[in-house]
Structure 1
Amino acid sequence: MSVHETPDPSRRSRKIRAVLAGGLVLGVGAAITLAAWNDSEFATGEFSAGAFNLEGSVDGTAYDEHASEAAAAPLSFSVDASNLSPGDSVSASFAVRLDEATTYDAGVIVDQAGTSGTVSGLTYELTTTDGFGCDSGTASSLVDAGTAVGSTDANGAFDLVSGAEGVDGAPVNLCFTVTAGDDLVQGQSGTATWEFLAESQA
């Protein structure tokens, strides 16, 4: 007759605790292993603003900034614009470009910045020319002939292209032609200022 031993409850409990303890040890070991496989990558960017500057010239060679109405470049007309009579027309050349530091192309709108004195009886036309000078050949009309001095029309817009790094952009050459009408008043005197408003095409 065989005798069955009754398991000692305390001994069984010790085995379970040992297994659980082993499991806890394995769990801690697994967590450490996972942490050892963590890795990171970092990326950084440097940000700098571009440059944008419009400049003009009354001789096609020397360019400078004329950033306000008070600092406007004085146009040099082909004949004496201070002694007009009805039917007379006078012309003056101007050029604009983006300077060598500019990093964006531009869209330019021609606007009438203001007048002083009396400019009634005067109309003008603004054209682009193939080279600098009103006798260089007309490329296109920006402001139609017959536009009253002191106003603009919807055609007065063109584009400028920036140059390569450290190089001035290609100029757009312009010609203003002012014509005196029959209603010009003897002895009248006035000035007109135009603005070339450039906006970057970034």
Structure 2
Amino acid sequence: MSTKTDRRKVLAVLAGGLVLGIGAAVTLAAWNDSEFATGTFTAGSFNLQGSVTSATAGYVDHNVDRGDAAATLAFSLPAATALSPGDVVYAPLWVRLDGTTSNNATLVPDTITAGTGGNEANLSYTIRAIAPDAVCDASAAGTVIASGPTLSALTGATAVPLAKGAAIGTPGTAVQLCFAVTAAATITQGATGSATWEFTATSTPN
């Protein structure tokens, strides 16, 4: 076989190899495909508010840490300014999740800070979670969520569930907290006693 003929056969084989190689690449590309997915995630909203007026009206924020004023409890007669030994006074506070809130929550009495009027050690208290439309007085029945032998102590803190509204824009169902403060036999005439309670609401997974 001549050298010229051999060279043509070699070239033909190489050319065929190139054609086969290109054909294989095209075939592999035809068996590849892709899918893409994207997601957008937006955080919900959460806000606790309180009212000393009623279960349905008078709600505002009372978060002292954000610069709000604490809610001023309106205690029953005998007036909290004229207590005698053994007197018990009552005051309601309604709490709820506002209409922007997207999660349920639990509410727990967190801290109590006593004032410096002199009678803080001579006043004890209990806080009960009662029905929104119940009367906060000696007949109030509900779960005791906190108590203290003085206005400097907080014992037995128990969580209370808070439900969000049925839809965004609708506030959640109110929970009434009934405060009962009792004057001890050792109460000092003319001296005052004060305390600030902090309640913390924590969102729970939906």
Q: TM-score w.r.t. structure 1 length?
A: 0.88
1:18 aligns with 2:20: no
CA-atom RMSD in angstroms: 1.9
| 1:112–1:150 contact (8 Å) kept in structure 2 | no
Match of 1:72 among 49, 70, 73: 70
- Number of aligned residues: 195
What is the CA-CA distance between 1:37 and the residue it aligns to? 4.5
Q: What is the percent sequence identity of the aligned residues?
A: 46
Q: Could you tell me which amino acid in structure 2 is paired with residue 126 of structure 1?
A: I
Paired residue for 1:174, among 153, 160, 177?
177
- Supply the distance in 1 between the matched residues of 2:47 and 2:11 (Cα, whole angstroms): 81
- Alignment partner, residue 150 of structure 2: 148
Contact 1:126 / 1:175 at 8 angstroms: preserved in 2? yes
Contact 1:131 1:137 (8 Å CA) reproduced: no
From 180, 186, 195, the equivalent of 1:183 is: 186
Preserved contact between residue 151 and residue 194 of structure 2 (Cα < 8 Å):
no
- 3-state SS of the aligned residue for 1:138? coil
Deviation per residue, 1:146-169 (Å, 9 max, x gap):
632222112332111111222111
* CA apart distance, 1:36: 4.3
Where does structure 1 lack aligned partners over 5 or more consecutive residues? 1-6
Q: Secondary structure at the match of 1:159?
A: strand
Write the mapping of 1:1-202 to structure 2, written as runs, cut at 5 A.
Answer: 7-60=1-54, 61-68=57-64, 71-79=69-77, 80-117=79-116, 118=118, 119-132=120-133, 133-135=135-137, 137-144=140-147, 147-165=149-167, 166-202=169-205
Cα distance in 1 for partners of 2:195, 2:140 equals: 25
Larger Rg: 1
| Partner residue, 1:4 | none
- Give, in angstroms, the shift of residue 177 of structure 1: 0.4
Gaps of 5+ in 2: none
**1:81-106 residue CA offsets vs partner (Å, 9 max, x unmatched):** 01111111100011111111111111
Q: Deviations over 1:111-150 (max 9, x none)?
A: 3341212212100011111234304741221124x63222
Q: Which amino acid aligns with 1:32?
A: V
Displacement after TM superposition at 1:41 (Å): 1.8
Give the number of the structure whose residues are more often strand, by fraction.
1
Q: TM-score scaled by structure 2?
A: 0.86
